[in-house]
Amino acid sequence: MSAITVIVLAAGGGTRMKSKTMKVLHRVGGRSMVGHVLAAAQSVSPDRVVTVVGHQREQVGAHVLELAPGSVLAVQESQEGTGHAVRVAVEALGGQVDGTVVVLTADTPLLRGDSLAAFLADHEAAERAVSILSGEVADPFGYGRIVRDEDGDVLAIVEQKDADADQREIREINSGILAFDGAFLTEALTRIGNDNAKGEYYLTDAVGLAREAGLTVGAYCLEDVRQTEGANDRSQLARLGKEMNRRILEHWMTEVGVTIMDPDTTWIEDDVVLARDVTILPGTQLLGATVVAEDAVIGPDTTLEDCEVGAGARVVRTHGQLAVIGDGAQVGPYAYLRPGTRTGTGSKVGTFVETKNAVLADGAKVPHLSYVGDAEVGEGSNVGAGTIFANYDGVAKHRTTIGRHARTGSNNTFVAPVTVGDGAGTGAGTVVREDVPPGALAVSAGPQRNLEGWAARRRPGTAQARAAEEAGAGDRSHP
């Protein structure tokens, strides 16, 4: 196989997005559009990748180099057409390119690597000067049409604005993805002119030039033409995003064996990894690099971003970010796991609990209404309802450490830095300011005083006072 050069066109303005962010940087399925295209390009193992940038070249260029560090950026100062853009790319490579050249546009996020590889294999097997990745669409408006002769051989690509009435009826279109013999392309680029309806240098004119020179030209018709659909505005972006999601869910259901109760309300991004027999309940979003192990049940109404969920864990109505949930752990309903949360095997983060930089060892439990920040809770320990780990003194953050098999009471405040020893306990309402030794019970609330007859004296005539009187309340402080 000859050397492969991929050229990605990303210089256009994308004004229809009406955005301060360049079109190809808009995200679908958790990745920028150009990110999807660069990923697809990788599956043909290119020797070189050149991305043509123009509008907002700093923003786009930096993003491209981050995703594909070894790639070349070519700057197209003014957008004079796809032929001009490719010429700029070839100039960036020293003015000449051998082997096979594949031209992609940066706004087709659904493009799959295997389709691109099949297209390229077909191009090389047929030894063509130019191959077009084409497709049949219901509404060809706006696309370049594939014009064929009576034998079905490709004659030319005619752009919408240059097409006559008959040509406009053609439903086979140029996807914008083309493959070339590099030597032919290098030469053809010098001959492409801009004498057309748009006054642009059309890359597609290379097809006619190849025909005139008696070289082989052909189109590879992709059945699943949506893969080459571009997004020019926000509604198309949303449609492509939805279609990508549908495809991702389909993959997990059919190829891996994941149960997704309601695909219409489930969103899973491209980089997420799920194991067999995971169950996803309605209203769930799995984002970023989230990984879910076997038999875990996620949802309903749960968002996890860059989280790791252990086998058989149960995560209900939860929002999580950069958190690790242990095997068989239970989270929620209504839990908020913030970065640095790690929960052990069989642990529990219960209802209305927020955690941050918090490590719960195996079997540790924080079942109700708590904030656990900058803390460690030892194996088998239970944190009482309504506990606050007061980690911030207004200046710096401090850690609280609770040992193994400790039992802390309801409505505690741990004023960090503080340590509760193994097997220690605290009474209800304790404000823990000093370390509790192993096995000790800490209490900080003073003895309780009852002011008898208080309701009758201080709230006379109220329902409270009447209820107290009906219950036989005396006033022992005023005999």
Q: Known catalytic residues?
A: 368
CA separation for the pair 409, 430 (Å, rounded): 7
Stretch that binds ligand UD1, among 171-179, 242-250, 325-333, 369-377 (CB under 6 A): 171-179
Nearer to ligand UD1, 83 or 332 (CB): 83
Q: Is 220 in the site for ligand UD1 (CB under 6 A)?
A: no
Residue from 117, 234, 123 nearest 185 by CA: 123
Residue that has been written with the tokens 């908020």 in this structure: 336
Q: Are strands 259-260 and 100-105 parallel, antiparallel or unpaired?
A: unpaired
Task: Tell me the closest approach of the beta carbon of residue 55 to ligand UD1, in angstroms.
Answer: 8
CA separation for the pair 359, 376 (Å, rounded): 5
Q: Is 172 in the site for ligand UD1 (CB under 6 A)?
A: no
Task: Tell me the closest approach of the beta carbon of residue 228 to ligand UD1, in angstroms.
Answer: 7
Tokens of 352: 């209305």
Nearer to ligand UD1, 33 or 360 (CB): 33
> How many Cβ atoms are within 10 Å of 422's Cβ, its own excluded?
16
Task: Tell me the closest approach of the beta carbon of residue 234 to ligand UD1, in angstroms.
Answer: 17
Q: Which residues contact 337 (CB under 8 A, 6 or more apart)?
A: 307, 318, 319, 320, 321, 323, 325, 331, 343, 349, 355
Q: What single DSSP character describes residue 25?
A: G
Stretch that binds ligand UD1, among 105-113, 339-347, 363-371, 461-469 (CB under 6 A): 105-113
Stretch that binds ligand UD1, among 65-73, 79-87, 300-308, 421-429 (CB under 6 A): 79-87
Q: Is 180 in the site for ligand UD1 (CB under 6 A)?
A: no
Interface with ligand UD1 (CB under 6 A), residue from 57, 73, 101, 143: 143
The 3-state DSSP class for residue 124 equals helix
Nearer to ligand UD1, 111 or 324 (CB): 111
CA angle, 466 then 471 then 472, to 5°: 100
Report the site for ligand UD1 in 185-204 (rule: CB under 6 A).
Answer: 202-204
Task: Tell me the closest approach of the beta carbon of residue 10 to ligand UD1, in angstroms.
Answer: 6
What would the DSSP string read from start to end of 157-225? Answer: EE-GGG--HHHHT--EEEEEEEEEEHHHHHHHHTT----STT----TTHHHHHHHHTT--EEEEE-SSG
Residue that has been written with the tokens 């049940």 in this structure: 297
Q: Is 184 in the site for ligand UD1 (CB under 6 A)?
A: no
Nearer to ligand UD1, 100 or 105 (CB): 105
Q: Quick check: 374 and 358 in contact, CB under 8 A?
A: yes
Q: Is 336 in the site for ligand UD1 (CB under 6 A)?
A: no
Report the site for ligand UD1 in 19-78 (rule: CB under 6 A).
Answer: 52, 76
Q: Is 85 in the site for ligand UD1 (CB under 6 A)?
A: yes
Give helix 113-125 / helix 33-42 axis angle, nearest 10°.
50
Name the residue with the smallest CB distance to ligand UD1: 144
Interface with ligand UD1 (CB under 6 A), residue from 84, 123, 342, 404: 84
> How many Cβ atoms are within 10 Å of 451's Cβ, its own excluded?
11
Interface with ligand UD1 (CB under 6 A), residue from 81, 135, 350, 363: 81
Q: Is 323 in the site for ligand UD1 (CB under 6 A)?
A: no
Q: Is 106 in the site for ligand UD1 (CB under 6 A)?
A: yes
Q: Is 308 in the site for ligand UD1 (CB under 6 A)?
A: no
User: How many amino acids of this chain bind ligand UD1 (CB under 6 A)?
Assistant: 27
Q: Site residues (CB under 6 A) for ligand UD1?
A: 9-12, 52, 76, 79-82, 84-85, 105-107, 143-144, 157, 159, 173-176, 202-204, 230
